[in-house]
Amino acid sequence: METLTDLSRRLAAGDITARALVEQALERIDDPAGEGPRAFMHVSRESARKQADEIDRRRAAGQRVAPFAGVPAAIKDLFDSAGEVTRAGSRVLNDRPPAAADAPAVARLRAAGFIIIGRNTMTEFAYSGLGLNPHYGTPLSPFDRDVRRIAGGSTSGGAVAVADGMAAASLGSDTGGSCRIPAAFTGVVGFKPTAHRVPREGVVPLSPTLDSVGPLARSVACCAALDAILRGTEPQRPAAIDIRELRLLAPTTLLLDEMQPEVASAFERAIQRLREAGASVVEAPLPDLARIPQVNANGGIAAAEAYAWHRELLERAGDQYDPRVAVRILQGAALTPQDVRAVLEARRQLIDSIGAQTRSFDAIVAPTTPIIPPPLSAFESDAEYVRLNALVLRNPSLANFLDGCSISLPIHEPGAPPVGLMLIGEHDADQRLLAVAAQLEKALEA
């Protein structure tokens, strides 16, 4: 798959036009054998073509254009885009007026020249790591499509759009893994920045304390460029790092539990390759990790903050929600202010404690999820839905809880089930984590 840099260079050299890239994306979206109808809730065909033609005209006239002018990108359905209704993957918000302005993250993508090709399907209100959507359809992972495996969530459509070439990048959100789980399940890269790094105005919230805005794309360098754009700075390649100077911590507590054989094999092979390349990988227990599920046992911060936002909507239109999403939100109704304060205090203590134990390492490393994408048929039972949702959220939600940054890289062999390698960095260590990830990506591809 071509990276953003590849596409930018080809456009600048005149090897391809913006209109040709848009038509390629639309052709893949409209492929009757593909996932376009499930990966997109809305496709901006005519506006995308019009923008592409204008960019091509300006380039042909020798006028200066933005670095990524003409590259198709998609946005998750919870971002405001001027003139469009923001539904957040739900029917409940159908009567909302169209957005008056772009969310800052969307506006920054446009300013960098990206053509917004459409709005991606997502888990309703972003409240699940599985990517199922009973209202608009569930996008499927590109792996083993005859079996109909899920793409992960909540940024399900965005991951599938990138994996299938319907967009060169997608804009997602991540409250407990919503960029990284679908990246792992579809074989792309997903980045979750430190929460405050990218503006969240104009984005339907799930949990303001935990929400992050991040990209999904084809490489670490792509995600680094997008992260720079989203935070309002000039893109630069990740800094070069000597892999022999890196120290990585692979915790044996919790994050390796219930691993499927395919994940264990891919993870062990990746760790071995990194060691052979010169990285130091320390496998050791980190007992404090086991406390985090206990702290969040009743829904935690996410349930409390989600219920506060949804309470009136649930009273008015609760029967229109996906029942599996509604029941998770309603957990927050039972949490008292004292409960929430206790969770926040426990979070503060664990951030301090785990930070002190991991500070000498460049990153925590673990499988993004302990399982490969399950088949859609696995979710006929509500009990199995709950179990698998908790399992796929378990590892990536650590970074959100600790207010850090995190990235998922694909590490499976060609033709094998998709598996992600997750790196977690400290609060505001995003630049360092992206540089580490770029070095590991290079080592793993060697």
The three-state secondary structure class of 425 is: strand
Q: Give the separation between CA 3 and CA 236, rounded to whole angstroms.
A: 14
**Which tokens in the block code for residue 193?**
């920045």
Give the dihedral of Cα atoms 75, 79, 85, 89; nearest 10 deg.
80
Residues of the chain with CATH 3.90.1300.10: 4-231, 247-296+336-445
Residue 176, pLDDT score: 98
pLDDT tens-place string over residues 10-27: 999 999 999 999 999 999
SS3 118: strand
Q: How far apart are CA 273 and CA 438, in angstroms?
A: 15
Q: Is 116 left (phi over 0), alpha (psi -120 to 50) or beta?
A: beta
Question: DSSP 3-state assignment of 407?
Answer: strand
Read off the pTM.
0.98
Mean per-residue pLDDT over the chain, rounded: 98
Other beta carbons less than 10 A from residue 281's beta carbon: 16
pLDDT of 33-76, one tens digit each? 999 999 999 999 999 999 999 999 999 999 999 999 999 999 99
The whole-angstrom separation of Cα 159 and Cα 169 is 9
In this predicted structure, the answer to whether residue 307 has a pLDDT above a threshold of 90 is yes
CB 193 within 8 A of CB 223: no
Residue 375 pairs with which residues in a beta bridge?
149
CB 93 within 8 A of CB 130: no
The CA distance from 427 to 348, in Å, is 13
Q: Out of 3.90.1300.10, 2.60.120.260, 1.10.260.40, 3.30.300.180, which CATH number does the structure's domain 4-231 have? A: 3.90.1300.10
Domain at 247-296+336-445, CATH homologous superfamily:
Amidase signature (AS) domain (3.90.1300.10)
Q: Please state, in angstroms and rounded to a whole number, the distance separating the CA atoms of residues 107 and 355.
A: 35
Positions marked catalytic: 76, 154, 178
Is the per-residue pLDDT at 1 higher than 80?
no
Q: Give per-residue pLDDT as tens, 128-176.
A: 999 999 999 999 999 999 999 999 999 999 999 999 999 999 999 999 9
pLDDT for 230-255, tens place per residue? 999 999 999 999 999 999 999 999 99
Q: What is the pLDDT of residues 343-397, one digit of tens each?
A: 999 999 999 999 999 999 999 999 999 999 999 999 999 999 999 999 999 999 9
Judged by DSSP in three states, 445 sits in helix
